[in-house]
Structure 1
Amino acid sequence: MGKPNGPCWWCLKAVKWIPVVFILTVVFWSYYAYVVQLCYYAIESYVQKAFYLFFFHILFLLFLWSYWQTVFTDLGRVPDKFRIPPAEMEKLQQPVSEEAQRQILEQFAQDLPITNRTIKGAIRFCEKCQLIKPDRAHHCSVCGTCVLKMDHHCPWVNNCVGFHNYKFFMLFLAYALLYCMFIAGTSLEYFVKFWKGQLDGVGKFHLLFLFCVALMFAVSLTSLFFYHCYLILHNRSTLEAFRPPMFRTGKDKDGFSLGRYNNFQEVFGDNSRLWFLPVFTSLGDGNVYPVRSQHQVGSNTYNSMGSTQNSFGDGVTFPERLCDEDTHTLLGEPQRWGDEAELDSPPLSGSRSALLS
């Protein structure tokens, strides 16, 4: 891959931006085709022009804002408390048995707020990042780091989709779909006129391609958008949909599900006025998530905005939410709140070998 900051490294980074440049090129061409060729030249009614341009620009700006946030939101970093100290790393790197490695990790992780395990029931450890993976975190080989609540790496945004930008990604899909549907719907009349030979000039080809491109993207975005709506309502990431998270009690694809409305709030927040704006409102800190009652370890309480208290051993306190889909709400009256304790923020995980997967 080449040395960091070397010629090959910079070349590879530049290549990764090609999909983003392609998307932006198509979007800005569509702006020209719609505003100039359709609204300015093809449409004669001023009322119709004003109506089309008003709604077009609202969708255009929301779409670009969401896309920008998805692309440029920082993935954050895993708090230092999850990182293995150098002395412990030396022990792990020595030719010791798998059971010895497991005991070292278990001892270090006993006071960490984690419930997920490997398939073998071991602590999830990232050898490359040298840290214990927070729940739902995974190592991205493309980004070269552990990503909190990693959903997938998306080449079209040249970024991972995870805890910090999942809401933005969903809004990007939603506004991109609405943008394409609006263009296809309002340009259909002129697409028909093109085939009837009622449009003249070079601009008619812009209108032809505008309708076809908008329709093509709308079709492809529809399945992706509704698939992620399904994932949100069930509180799963794309990775968790293919490989259910492992808990101490075994696999459970619904281990993080709190009920559809609470699952939605976990991504979009509890302020309904900000749900459809690309500003960060997701609940929690990305390191700790509420789990269903059967996965709870001891008694604890949780604050949806990232503050909780749960005592383990030496008087150390940390957060963990435990909820039952049928008897609790994420933010409503039935939730009992404990004393608040400030938490560290951001990102995530990786993988080791057979034991650590």
Structure 2
Amino acid sequence: MAPAVIRICCVAVRWTPVIFISAIVVWSYYAYVVQMCFLTVESIAERVLYLLLFHPFIVMFAWSYAKTIFTPVGRVPKVFFLPSQLADRLMRESEEDQKNTLIEFARNNNLPVQNRTHIGAPRYCEKCKCIKPDRSHHCSVCGTCVLKMDHHCPWVNNCVGFTTYKFFVMFLGYALLYCLFVAVTSLKYFIQFWSGGVGNNMGKFHVLFLFFVAVMFAISLISLFGYHCYLTAKNRSTLESFRSPIFQSGPDKNGFSLGKYNNFIEIFGENKLMWFVPTFTSAGDGVTFPTRTVDLDSDGLLADRQRWMEEGELDSHLNNGYGSNRYLDHDKL
């Protein structure tokens, strides 16, 4: 009985931030639409304008938030998992023998891994007993390795990674626009209530609090959204910004950067009509990623490739590095 109670308590705690944010959004809808637009705004034209602009913001905000919460995280394909006997043997081997065993397993199974540990071995998760695909990491909260993991976000009770990063960035962007719109349009009535120019006591409380909440969240979202825009432009995850991924040639914080435009395309896709719609359009399968150092020692043309990519042209050779989506189940996204 005790373990079941503990599990229920843990689940409740994990969902508390999501419930809190959802409650704030529901209340803000009531405060803005009912208390401000219908009971405070006197001009019909102004009321209609506010309502027409308000609803697209909250719909896109809620949509992207829901997609971030409920989209399953990208999980490591079965081919990366070691057989139980091999995993048990690996734990008894020396560090050098472990390296050789992992390299042999990756080679025999044709695993597309470029990232390494500090000793040059493929990265291995002792909890999942699998070789980690490039850019994947183990999440202690989710209890599994997550493809292209960025971080675990308690505000969405989900991991932000390959399958959810686009939705997360859109959630931040639309939340910021929503807060700014509410703050700007309620400022006039905030001043009136604050100076005692309007006598609606209930509306006064809601509008005053609505303005404060919108400004508070907008301030925090500006820095967070700006930071993830920077990461998108650099093609880095939050984890990679703190610890550079290691390749065979050594650590390289820009190893996955293909130029600002191509970095954006990798997350938001090539269909411009879908850039601002919370549907999955990211390139690749979350397992294989093109790198700017892919042909460092083969033909001496890396400098030209990097220059082309910075100018926004998608190099065909690097484009092939995304894989064939054989690891990705689009029906679950």
User: What TM-score comes out, normalization by structure 1 length?
Assistant: 0.85
Corresponding residue of 1:274: 274
Corresponding residue of 1:248: 248
Mapped partners of 2:298, 2:87: distance in 1? 29
Mapped partners of 1:274, 1:225: distance in 2? 19
Corresponding residue of 1:71: 69
Mapped partners of 2:294, 2:265: distance in 1? 22
Does structure 2 retain, via aligned residues, the 8 Å contact 1:257–1:325?
A: no
Mapped partners of 1:232, 1:324: distance in 2? 20
Q: Tell me, which stretches of 5 or more residues in structure 2 are unaligned?
A: none
Does structure 1 retain, via aligned residues, the 8 Å contact 2:288–2:323?
A: no
Residue-pair matches, total:
320
Partner of 1:288, secondary structure, is coil
User: Once the 2 structures are TM-superposed, how far is the Cα of residue 49 of structure 1 from its aligned partner?
Assistant: 0.6
Select the residue among 32, 35, 42 that pairs with 1:34: 32
Corresponding residue of 1:318: none
Corresponding residue of 1:181: 180
Corresponding residue of 1:284: 284
Mapped partners of 1:166, 1:218: distance in 2? 20
Mapped partners of 1:338, 1:122: distance in 2? 25
Corresponding residue of 1:350: none
Partner of 1:146, secondary structure, is strand
Quick check: 190-199 or 178-187, which moved more?
Answer: 190-199
Does structure 1 retain, via aligned residues, the 8 Å contact 2:285–2:323?
A: no
Shift in alpha-carbon separation, 1:9–1:45, aligned structure 2, 3 A = same
Shift in alpha-carbon separation, 1:281–1:294, aligned structure 2, 3 A = closer
- The answer to which structure, 1 or 2, has the higher relative contact order (CA under 8 A, 6+ apart) is 1
Shift in alpha-carbon separation, 1:332–1:324, aligned structure 2, 3 A = closer
- Residue 100 (structure 1) aligned with residue 81 (structure 2): no
Q: What is the one-letter code of the residue matched to 2:28? A: S
Mapped partners of 1:264, 1:293: distance in 2? 19
Shift in alpha-carbon separation, 1:109–1:297, aligned structure 2, 3 A = farther
User: What TM-score comes out, normalization by structure 2 length?
Assistant: 0.90
Corresponding residue of 1:109: 106
**Mapping 1:154-233, distance limit 5 Å:** 154-200=153-199, 201-233=201-233
Corresponding residue of 2:141: 142
Q: What is the one-letter code of the residue matched to 1:100? A: D
Does structure 2 retain, via aligned residues, the 8 Å contact 1:328–1:335?
A: no
User: Once the 2 structures are TM-superposed, how far is the Cα of residue 330 of structure 1 from its aligned partner?
Assistant: 11
Mapped partners of 1:340, 1:252: distance in 2? 19
Does structure 2 retain, via aligned residues, the 8 Å contact 1:262–1:330?
A: no
- Residue 89 (structure 1) aligned with residue 70 (structure 2): no
User: Once the 2 structures are TM-superposed, how far is the Cα of residue 333 of structure 1 from its aligned partner?
Assistant: 6.8
Shift in alpha-carbon separation, 1:272–1:103, aligned structure 2, 3 A = same
Q: Tell me, which stretches of 5 or more residues in structure 1 are unaligned?
A: 300-322, 348-357
Mapped partners of 2:320, 2:170: distance in 1? 33
Shift in alpha-carbon separation, 1:290–1:296, aligned structure 2, 3 A = farther
Corresponding residue of 1:335: 316
More helix by share: 2
Corresponding residue of 1:302: none
Percent identical pairs in the alignment equals: 53
Does structure 2 retain, via aligned residues, the 8 Å contact 1:184–1:215?
A: yes
Runs of 4+ with deviation above 6 angstroms: 337-341
